[in-house]
Amino acid sequence: MAEQEYDLIVVGSGAGALLGAIRAQEQGLKTLVVEKTELFGGTSALSGGGIWIPVNYDQKRAGVKDDLETAFSYMKRCVRGMASDDRVLAYVETANKMAEYLRQIGIPYQCIPKYADYYPHIEGSMPGGRTMDPVDFNAAKLGLPALETMRPGPPGNLILGRMSINAFEAHSMLAREVKSRFRLVGMMLKYFLDYPWRNKTRRDRRLTGGQALIGGLLTAARKVGLEMWNKAAMQELLQDASGRVIGLVVEKDGQRLQLKAKRGVLLGAGGFERNQQMRDQYLNKPTNAEWTATPVGCNTGDAHRAGEAAGAQLALMDWSWGVPTMDVPKEPTFRGIFVERSLPGCMVVNAKGQRFLNESGPYPEFQQAMLAEQAKGNGGAPAWIVFGADFRAQNPMGPLMPGSAVPDSKLRKSWLNTVYWKGETLEELAKQIGVDAEGLKDSARKMTEYAKTGKDLDFDRGGNVFDRYYGDPRMKNPNLGAIDKGPFYAMRFWPGEIGTKGGLLTDREARVLDKEGKIIPGLYCVGNNSASVMGPSYPGAGATLGPAMTFAYRAIAEMQGKA
Ligand code: FAD
């Protein structure tokens, strides 16, 4: 077996792994990244790129007031004792330093003043300003062919299957701001007139969201001369007689290579959502690897198993970053439905045709409610999102563009009764989707009534600032609309996720702990490979990528004796 030596070996190429590797290389550690698939970026490249950063550098510009104590108390309440105070504090104290570092290496972020924390009812939450989104990144800085080695974003994020759109633009369009139309036209013109770039690649020069983040990180990686291997899967960790992790075995080009790591190994190999056996073992049922919105072939828990074999303690293994997902033909993964379900004029029902949740609430709780409903025997997995003609005309839902732009007659024929179901009446629709008709009619009647009064008496949809962010400000309650005009439509939701959140238990410096709580020397872990610092919760948008990169930042500081 061939042998090579590095200071640090980083497993995986998501945001946490890359940030840690860049920081280490820049600080003089000879670092290698091993990525098992052909493409770099993992789920992070598919993501919105948002990071949840309390007390961040951009809040002042946005006129947002925040402080560490309030942020800590909010996060601590969210976490419900399922991550140590020590780690929570380390996160709150370091997140902005990490964000500053991102800016320093060429990846600036902006805070979103009106995007609220996910639990407005919990003390210490903010009505906006803790979530930051990446500024658009020019792919020319990364260049070709390097861009082609980056995992592309989800097709559903592209306008006309080609043009990137960022979160600010998406929100502005959904909020029907007049300027959004001009922006859209401008964006299209810019894309189509950019012949020099379009002649070289179909991929948009303008990278947004997770593409901007990973594009920026890959550019920074090149600048610091980071060595990165693709199609190189970590197989096992190597330990010396004292238990110290001293390297790993990787399979590359059909060869098993033994790589030594003098300072340590940083695991950032994602979750285990693509491993059905591990899902069956750990997650709530029903569970299916196909329902996930993360890339095929990436996150199969390899490094969970390798860490476990090295003596690591696992925690939070039954939790995931849940989201309802949809199966869209020809898309490589199921599509996470984050936004559209919040718009007025739709409702989500179980097999009895009854609503069972606040459709506009945070997505992890949405997925948990689906599973709970299924467990009660009411049929929540799948659940159905139902809307009438008005909603269909004005709003997108998954792959369906608003009917005013793409009417039913222009939709692919094969989508009827596979992607969407349609009935002239609610009875007809109920029959097609196998849902109780009386229940469905009753739910639609109530929803129509609530839209008039502006008050959802069952689930208080639209009752808080978070719900209202993705609503229609013209309505009495931005999240409530009548469902009274046919034809009526239904689409199927699955209890999917954007990653699992259980993994190797770590301390405040991302050092992996063994079953007795002792540090395993030389082993560090970040991202969905580790047990999340967020415990069972999702305090705000960006609560997965923020910690992944922040703890990678801390791990490198610890390795250098600067923690
Ligand atoms: P990943 O980014 O998935 O990277 C893991 C990498 O490790 C993969 O490339 C994988 O192939 C590689 N790997 C696995 N096993 C091995 C092995 N044996 N050897 C070598 N390499 C290996 N989160 C946010 O915080 N903010 C958002 O805005 C956001 N938006 C999202 C939008 C969508 C549509 C989706 C799907 C997710 C979103 N998320 C968001 C969630 C977020 O993307 C993930 O939680 C995060 O990317 C996980 O990062 P990671 O580094 O742990 O794993």
Ligand 1 in contact with 17 (CB < 6 A)? Answer: yes
pLDDT of residue 2: 58
Residues with Cβ within 8 Å of residue 121, at least 6 apart in sequence: 464
Ligand 1 centroid – CA 111 distance (Å): 22
The answer, yes or no, to whether residue 357 has pLDDT greater than 80, is yes
The finding on whether 293 has its CB within 6 A of some atom of ligand 1 is yes
- Per-residue pLDDT, 293: 98
Select from 544, 550, 551, 553 the residue to mutate for testing ligand 1; criterion: most ligand atoms less than 8 Å from CB: 544
Instruction: Say how many Å lie between the CA of residue 344 and the centre of ligand 1.
Output: 31
Residue 404's pLDDT is what?
Answer: 93
**Ligand 1 contact, 539 CB (< 6 A):** no
- What is the position in ligand 1's atom list of the atom closest to the CA of 17? 51
98, 296, 299: which to mutate for ligand 1, most atoms within 8 A of CB? 299
CA 42 to ligand 1: nearest atom? 9
Which residue has the least CA distance to atom 12 on ligand 1? Answer: 12
Q: Is 423 in the pocket of ligand 1 (CB under 6 A)?
A: no
On average, the pLDDT of the chain sits at 96
Distance CA 563, CA 12 (A): 23
What is d(CA 219, CA 22) in angstroms, rounded to the nearest whole number? 10
User: Which helix (H) or strand (E) element contains residue 236?
Assistant: strand 232-239
Provide the pLDDT confidence category of residue 478 given band limits of 50, 70 and 90. Answer: very high
HSE-CB of 507 using CA atoms within 13 angstroms: 15
Query: H or E stretch including 340?
Result: none
Q: For position 82, what pLDDT does the model report? A: 97
CB–CB of 218/142 below 8 Å?
Answer: yes
Residue nearest to atom 25 of ligand 1 (CA): 542
Q: Whose CA is nearest to atom 14 of ligand 1?
A: 269
Q: From the alpha carbon of 303, which atom of ligand 1 is closest?
A: 18
* Residue 1 scores a pLDDT above 70: no
Min mean pLDDT across 165-169, 247-251, 333-337, 496-500 is at 165-169
pLDDT for res 188: 86
Ligand 1 centroid to Cα of residue 52, in Å, is 16
DSSP 207: E
Q: Are the C-beta atoms of 325 and 292 separated by less than 8 Å?
A: yes
Q: How much is the average pLDDT of 501-507?
A: 98
Residue 148 and residue 201 in contact, taking contact as beta carbons nearer than 8 Å: yes
355 strand-pairing partners: 349
Supply the pLDDT for residue 419. 98
Type and span of the H or E element at 252: strand 245-252
Q: For residue range 234-261, what is the model confidence (pLDDT) as tens digits?
A: 999 999 999 999 999 999 999 999 999 9
Instruction: Give mean pLDDT, residues 475-498.
Output: 98
Sorting pLDDT into bands at 50, 70 and 90, what band is 563?
A: confident
Nearest CA to ligand 1 atom 50: 270
* pLDDT tens per residue across span 21-73: 999 999 999 999 999 999 999 999 999 999 999 999 999 999 999 999 999 99
Helix (H) or strand (E) holding 96: helix 85-104
Residue 216 pLDDT exceeds 90? yes
* % of the chain beyond a pLDDT of 70: 100
Angstrom distance (rounded) from CA 20 to CA 269: 13
Distance 217 CA to ligand 1 centre (A): 14
Q: Is 298 in the pocket of ligand 1 (CB under 6 A)?
A: yes
Q: Are strands 255-267 and 3-11 parallel, antiparallel or unpaired?
A: parallel
503 Cβ closer than 6 Å to some ligand 1 atom: no
CA of 302, closest atom in ligand 1: 18
Q: What pLDDT, on a 0 to 100 scale, did the predictor assign at position 172?
A: 83
Q: Residues of 332-356 as b/e, b for ≥16 C-beta within 10 angstroms?
A: ebbbbbbbbbbbbbbbbbbbbbbbb
Distance between Cα 529 and ligand 1 center (Å): 9
> What pLDDT was estimated at residue 160?
82
Q: What is the pLDDT of residues 284-325, one digit of tens each?
A: 999 999 999 999 999 999 999 999 999 999 999 999 999 999
AA letter at 107: I
Answer yes or no: are the C-beta atoms of 318 and 271 closer than 8 Å: no
On the question of pLDDT at 406 being above 70, the answer is: yes
Q: Which of 395, 391, 365 is nearest to 380 (CA)?
A: 365
Tell me the residue length of the chain: 563
User: How far apart, in whole angstroms, are the C-alpha atoms of residue 52 and residue 56?
Assistant: 9
Question: Does 313 contact ligand 1 (Cβ within 6 A)?
Answer: no
Verdict on whether the full-model pTM lies above 0.90 = yes
- Does 196 sit behind a cis peptide bond, omega within 30 degrees of 0 on the bond before it? no
Rounded to an integer, what distance in angstroms lies between the CA atom of residue 346 and that of residue 81? 36
Q: What secondary structure letter does DSSP report for 289?
A: G
322 lines ligand 1 (CB under 6 A): no
**Which DSSP string corresponds to 439-493?**
HHHHHHHHHHHHHHHT--TTT-TT-SHHHHHTS-TTSSSTT-----SSSEEEEEE
pLDDT value, residue 531: 98
Query: Residue 145 in 3-state DSSP?
Result: coil
Q: Round to the nearest angstrom and report the end-to-end CA distance of the chain.
A: 36
pLDDT-above-90 percentage for the chain: 91
Torsion sign (Cα): 314, 317, 320, 325: positive
For 128, residues 6+ apart whose C-beta sits below 8 A from its C-beta are: 64, 111, 112, 113, 114, 115, 116, 465
Distance, CA of 149 to CA of 39 (rounded, Å): 5
Using 50, 70 and 90 to split pLDDT, how confident is the model at 187?
confident
Residue 19, phi then psi, degrees to nearest 5: -60, -45
**Using an 8 Å Cβ cutoff, are 270 and 45 in contact?**
no
Question: Residue 552 pLDDT > 80, yes or no?
Answer: yes
Nearest CA to ligand 1 atom 53: 270
Contact 62, 40 (CB under 8 A): no
Task: Tell me which long-range contacts 396-403 makes (C-beta under 8 A, separation of at least 24).
Answer: 396/340, 397/337, 397/340, 397/346, 397/489, 397/491, 398/156, 398/326, 398/328, 398/335, 398/337, 398/340, 398/491, 399/156, 399/326, 399/328, 399/331, 399/335, 400/491
pLDDT at 3: 72
Alpha carbons 79 and 501: distance in angstroms, whole number: 13
